[in-house]
Structure 1
Amino acid sequence: MFRPLSLCLGLLVAATSTAFALTAVPPGNRNAEQPPIPYGAVKRTGDTRGSFEAKYEKIRDLIASNGELRAKIKASAKRYGIEPIHIVGALVGEHTYNVDALDRLQTYYVKSMSYLTSKVEFALKGEEVSDFVRRPQFAECGAESSDAALWSCREAVWNASFRGKTVDGEAFPDKRFGAAFFQPFYAGQTFGLGQLNPLTALSVSDVVHRRSGLPELDARDAGKVYAAIMDPDKSLDYMAAVIAESIRSYAEAADMDISDNPGLTATLYNVGNPVARARALAAENRKRAAAGQKPKLPEENYYGWLVNEKLAELRVALR
């Protein structure tokens, strides 16, 4: 049975052995000015002789003018128990600072079909990631009960045991786990309407299977992963699942309710790995509590800052 995420958060609190109240992260930005925009985003936009404002207006106007897209956004949000504005925020952030939005949804469908016959694979130096994570260093990850926790664990093991190191005579690159294994076309590439990367989609595959009935993704079949994240009928559900996972992670691991701050969920959509980030915030706040300090609230980055700054406009576009 479908339950709104707000109800699920309430049930989560009630089910714990020691009742606690989640700290509500208020709407709006914690930073008075927009945090610095990374050089890569500036260069991408400059190379096309565009501007962030023009790209923002393009995706905002696409949402406002396309009733089919708005209906899909609202349907996906409902399936995952989140407010549609969270999906809008992620779309706006991606298409303002990553790539320009395409004018027609049909273009995404065509691109999606092309990946089904591709020969692409997720591998490093010819070793598929599915084989790589069978190494003994990853044994601890077998206890994780969700795809999000599983891939977060694998990323942590990569960082601790392989990244930039030489193991058994083999040198490994000083790159993020996703960059090392999940970007076979070129570094930094994301795909589709939601500009998802494959690792992000894999991290919510179990949730999307349960909620939407879509087949579970398999890292051994990269073509189907790319086809799923390129297809707007599926991509929006993956987006919603990623956002819902961020909200759930912060509630469970950090005792924070971030569901009323679309700029913050957009930030997490941008930076990824909400499980590890929520746990890190929780660890920091335990130290602050021991020192008699107030808990630290999560903050938006440049990407989420824009979403909160433009929130009134985006709510109008969604209507």
Structure 2
Amino acid sequence: MAALLAFCAVPAGAVTVVPPGNRNADQPDVPAGAIRRTSQTRGTFDAKYEKIRNLIATNDELRGKIDKAARAYGIDPIHIVGALVGEHTYNVDALDRMQTYYVKALSYLEAKVVFAYEGESVTDFVARPEFRACAGAKGDEALWSCRESVFNTAFRGRTVDGRSYPDNRFGAVFFQPFYAGQTFGLGQINPLTALGVSDLVHRVSGYPDLDPDKAPEVYRAIMDPDRSLAYMAAVIRSSIEAYREIAGVDISGNPGITATLYNVGNPRARAAALAADNKARAGAGQPPRLPEENYYGWLVNDKLPELEPLAR
């Protein structure tokens, strides 16, 4: 597997390298929601896995786009392949024709949607004084990660200034005007995730910066297959960088871990939690804990003999 490019080079011996393969002998439990979604379509996980694997295997243009995106963001293409396989095995079926994604992307430009909760736009919401600590965040990912943390601690499940906020994720409350939990496009990206890497995608791929006040353009970006692959690569690169810089852990050689983070999101907070845990473990004379794959990442690592040829 190709090594990461020099953008995340660190001094030798400064990081703990996560070895290839799964830490769990058996696949962790698949959530009930994933089981329910698949049973409602009378499908099976095996059939959905085969569909996305075959789509990638038989579409030379798609594989070329995956390779191009991976090279642009300095990651191994297997990380993008793994994320695609995980999303379309456990979340939605892959569409049979790539052209369908392009058509759907254009349709979102006409959608009259906004990112808001009970009439308050997310832009106005994050201008509240509770979010002042986020003003010094460096980069979009750190900024939106900080805002998500503030939402969780100060608003989630609480009543503030007479308004009750659901006990639900920031992304589900403010960024899912169609229905809660929805992700979009080839990469099954949600709007909050896209906003978190907008500056990186703009810098590397030249696509316009995303504006939370222009929701239709955000949806178009994550529905367009070409742009979606750039956002996927940016999300994966950001996860690798976060774990290296915050937790001192190199996950670039384990696509099951990067796929897990692609699935669960918020890598900076998770890397910080791992760093704090390992600091406590070091103080107790214990070895560091390595990140573990979830059910989604476990499948990716388990299927690597079939998937790696698709990333070459």
TM-score (norm 2): 0.98
Percent identity between the two aligned chains? 68
Q: Measure the CA separation in 2 of the matches of 1:318 and 1:244.
A: 16
Distance 1:249 1:276 in 2: 9
Counterpart of 1:181, as a letter, is F
Partner residue, 2:112: 119
Please state whether the residue corresponding to 1:116 is helix, strand or coil: helix
The aligned residue for residue 222 of structure 2 is 229
Give distance in 2, aligned partners of 1:181 and 1:261.
Answer: 33
Aligned CA RMSD, in angstroms, stands at 1.0
CA contact (8 A) 1:61 1:317 kept: no
**Runs (4+) of structure 1 moved beyond 6 Å?**
none
Structure 2 letter corresponding to 1:164: G
CA deviation vs aligned residue, 1:36-90 (integer Å, no higher than 9, x gap): 0000000000000000000000000000000000000000000000000000000
The residue number in structure 2 matching 1:254 is 247
Is contact 2:69-2:233 (8 Å) kept? yes
Residue 151 of structure 1 is aligned with which of 130, 144, 155?
144
Measured in 2, the distance between the counterparts of 1:52 and 1:172 equals: 35
Q: CA-to-partner distance for each residue in 1:116-139, whole Å, 9 max, x for gaps?
A: 111101000011101100000000
* Counterpart amino acid of residue 97 in structure 1: Y
Matching residue of 1:77: 70
User: One-letter code of the match for 1:265?
Assistant: T
Which residue in 2 is equivalent to 1:238?
231
**Structure 2: gaps of 5 or more residues:** none
Aligned length in residues: 310
Query: Which whole-Å CA distance do the structure 1 matches of 2:157 and 2:8 have between them?
Result: 39
Distance 1:5 1:185 in 2: 37
- In structure 1, the residue matched to 2:290 is 297
Deviations for 1:160-200, whole angstroms, at most 9, x for unmatched residues? 00001111222111111001001110111110000000000
Give the structure 1 partner of residue 278 of structure 2: 285
2:5 corresponds to which residue?
6
Aligned-pair CA distance for 1:317:
2.9
Equivalent positions of 1:1-319 (< 5 A) are 5-10=4-9, 13-14=10-11, 21-319=14-312
Normalising by structure 1, we get a TM-score of 0.96
Secondary structure in 1 aligned to 2:145? helix
Deviation at 1:26, TM superposition (A): 0.3
For structure 1, the residue ranges without an aligned partner over 5 or more in a row are: none
The SS at the match of 1:192 is coil
